[in-house]
Structure 1
Amino acid sequence: MTKSDPYESDEEIREYASPACMLHEVDPAYSGISPDESRISDIFAWRKIQRQRLIDDRKALPFAEREDHTRSIADHLDQVVADVNGKHISLFWPFLGEPDLRGWMATATARGADCLLPVVTAKAAPLIFRSWKIGKRLERGVWNIPVPAEGQEAVPDIVIAPLVGFDPRCFRLGYGGGFFDRTLATLEHKPLVIGVGFESQRIDTIHPLAHDIPMDVIITQTGPRHR
């Protein structure tokens, strides 16, 4: 499966596939949810601009600075997820300047975790998660991001998701495809959901809508924020 434009999104083509599951945890007035279609269209357009800006800013961070921030994020992850033995933990392959947590993944695997990588199977479909550890075979997935070629499929106990942006309410701005929200909404048992990124990706609000599911924790180099 290929996708020519990594910023082409479900939001832009106005497809909605995520039920508003777990929305009972958020008061509509508090989250800013509105049924007004013109406002929703404006939010989608605003998000597209913000995504590009935030990705460009992240990619512009000097490599040494990103490495230093990533080490701090890994240290904070160890505090939030202290016991990894026997846990299924979904992480991600670094993309467009994201924190590279493959070192943390290797350490977690050595401590008894079954680490997973998300796999896109189809547009507007939930992700699946396959086990992977360093040295195992990979293949190219959507946007040419490596995915496990042979890993065992599993349901994560913990989901560690990359952030394009985030706000003080722990809402995550992603790449716009809706894959994480759609997946979280369909899982029978809600995992612990952790968003990771750099402090520079913080914005005042993502203007959350009905399909947006907040993170339980967001971790940057400065430490964790709990919802």
Structure 2
Amino acid sequence: MTLKQDTRKSVLARRKAIPDAERKEKSRLICERFLAEIDSRFTSETSSGASAEHLRIAAYEPMSSEVDVHPLLHAAYERGWEVHLPCMAKDTPDEPAHMVFFPIAQNQLTEQRPAFLDHPARPYLLDDLHAQGWRGADEQLFDIAVIPLVAFDSGFMRLGYGGGNYDRFLPKLRDDCFVAGVAFEEQRVDRVPTEPHDLPLPRIFSA
């Protein structure tokens, strides 16, 4: 087992051991801190020309013991922001899956949920998704990006799940996109094992 694999295994076990009530409260605090920072950073207009009342946020649908970002997503809907969530998609059955972000309306998050929200890791054929009316978003349009992670350290280095999806996603964002990881303090390690291509996140909100 490599150092990354060993770190991933031990941190995921710690994250899973957080009691449900504590995880819910920690998630709420993380979302509050995220929103407070957004409110202080974004004024009447962003450099991309989007008004602070109409931002585009790329987030994720939490699975297993991840930080529950639903309070953040519902706050985004209340503010009139566009919410985008990822789906694993394949161009053909034999090709590897890649992450595509689709716009998700609030009722699609809470009631008329597309299948890919309930199965975030399952790949779907892109042609089938297009036939259902789904159209992927241009990553350059995102004003805010919420990044899940497995482990982090004081230098904001991030250890992901090993698929490289966010390693490929992050470089596609605009330089002025507000990028932040979210995690529980139980996921903090002394030093994240890295490789030369690994880069830190600009910020991580934790509780």
Question: Taking structure 1 as the reference length, what is the TM-score of the superposition?
Answer: 0.69
Give 1:143's aligned residue. 121
1:51–1:168 distance in 2 versus 1, CA, 3 Å: same
1:145–1:127 distance in 2 versus 1, CA, 3 Å: closer
Could you say which structure has the greater relative contact order, defined with CA pairs below 8 angstroms and 6 or more residues apart? 1
1:150–1:218 distance in 2 versus 1, CA, 3 Å: farther
Identity of aligned residues (%): 30
Q: Unaligned stretches of 5+ in structure 1?
A: 1-43, 222-227
Q: Distance in 2 between matches of 1:65 and 1:92?
A: 21
**AA in 2 matched with 1:138:** P
Of the three residues 88, 93, 103, the one matched with 1:120 is 88
Count residues with an aligned counterpart. 176
SS state at 1:208 partner: coil
Q: Distance in 1 between matches of 2:106 and 2:6?
A: 35
1:109–1:150 distance in 2 versus 1, CA, 3 Å: farther
More helix as a share of residues: 2
Q: Distance in 1 between matches of 2:205 and 2:16?
A: 19
1:173–1:180 distance in 2 versus 1, CA, 3 Å: same
Of the three residues 136, 144, 154, the one matched with 1:153 is 136
Distance apart, 1:151 and its partner CA: 4.7
**What is the 5 A alignment of 1:43-192?**
45-82=2-39, 83=42, 85-122=53-90, 127-136=99-108, 137-140=113-116, 141=119, 143-144=121-122, 150-154=133-137, 155=139, 156-185=142-171, 187=172, 189-190=174-175, 191-192=177-178
**Native 8 Å contact 1:95 1:145 kept in 2:** no
SS state at 1:193 partner: strand
**AA in 1 matched with 2:53:** N
Runs of 4+ in 1 over 3 A off after TM superposition: 122-126, 148-152
**AA in 2 matched with 1:179:** N
Per-residue displacement from partner, 1:28-72 (whole Å, max 9, x unpaired)? xxxxxxxxxxxxxxxx81111111111111111100000110111
Give 1:207's aligned residue. 193
Question: Taking structure 2 as the reference length, what is the TM-score of the superposition?
Answer: 0.76
**Native 8 Å contact 2:63 2:120 kept in 1:** no
